[in-house]
Homo-oligomer: A and B are copies of this chain.
Amino acid sequence: MTAPAPELEGDFVLDEDLLLECGRTLVRPTLHYAVYGRLNAARDNGVLVCHALSGSALVGAWWPELFGGNSETRGIVDLRRDCVICVNLLGSCYGSTGPGSVDPATGEVYGAKFPLISIRDNVRAQAQLLESLGIATLSLAIGGSIGGMQALELAILFPERVKEVVVIGVAPLSAMGLALNHLQRRAIESDPDWRDGAYAPDRQPKKGLALARQVAMLSYKSASLFTERFARRPNRNREDPWADDGRGSGLTGAGRFDVAGFLDYQGERFLDRFDANAYLAIVRTMDTWDPLRGYERAEDAYGRIRARLTFVGISSDWLFPPGDVRRLAESVRECGVQADYREMVTDHGHDAFLAEQTELVRLLHLPI
């Protein structure tokens, strides 16, 4: 299918400064967003799609199956009926205010001084954008990974503003997830080209950012997918992992295994499309998310929810294990909220929600 094109792609500048959960202030931040389809007269057909770490507002490009569009699969949204809004995360490098933006207070690029932005900060800013669009209540908010964090927080913070929420492949990061993110952070910081965050935009800490992406790719896939795709085969360009002709390095090898070639390629490719400080910013947004933080009891948070929730676990996900997603769904349900749990059965790992979109859409269409 062809990816749907946005009706509108634009910037929304907040009327006022955003007081952040960490106590700092973001001076009149910009939200870059895209709109697909049109709002109806009642403005009650809005669907908010929330993106993950390296995503952008252009959801049509990265989640096309959500829109269906071919005869076999009915999408989750239908642009003849729905109006889809997707907002770039604060901290990102795809248009919203991030570490690469100029701090109006100093006239300088934020760099490493960009503040800690929480999921709630994002959701509060997005609520102001929705207000400006005249959307009182969304028919649906949906997201995977960090996108799911935002969708759930929206249901908690603004219970009247969303009727249905789909949370995919996410729960508060476990210790293993925090560990994986920490290695990615260290990979970037360890690159001298990072310069404590003060690198010029065209002088990215490339090796560190590529290595961070490689660690991330590992966590997005599964051991069984890797075995199926790569096994112990030599790299497909005919390198020989057993070779040592004495001319090169016996330590690092003239030849890679196929999985190593794949990881190197993924790391390299990422450099064309992401910024190191933005990466660090969003990893911290992800690390610090806990929907119960600041509440005394689970009921105080989850009990606020008015939307109908669907949680989707991914069977082979080891970054956000399905058991964690199921437990999150159960905690929410125990607070009297309608919360369904479904599981994508797949070998793919965490990013199955992007890699196997048709299966995800089918799963969401199953009756409760």
CB within 8 Å of B: which residues of A?
20-24, 99, 112-117, 172-176, 178-180, 182-183, 185-187, 189-192, 196-197, 207-208, 211, 214-215, 218, 223, 226-227, 229-232, 241-246, 249-253, 256-260, 263-264, 267, 277, 280-281, 284, 287-288, 290, 293, 318, 321
Contact = CB atoms under 8 A, between A and B. Distances in A.
A203 B259 CA distance: 31
B256 A113 contact: no
B249 A113 contact: yes
A285 to B, nearest CB: 10
A73 B215 CA distance: 41
30 contacts: A20-B244, A23-B244, A24-B250, A99-B251, A112-B249, A112-B250, A112-B251, A115-B244, A116-B253, A174-B223, A175-B223, A175-B257, A175-B259, A176-B218, A176-B223, A176-B227, A179-B226, A179-B260, A183-B211, A183-B214, A183-B218, A186-B211, A187-B187, A190-B208, A190-B211, A197-B252, A223-B321, A232-B290, A251-B284, A252-B280
Contacts of A256: 182
A196 B257 contact: no
A43 B48 CA distance: 76
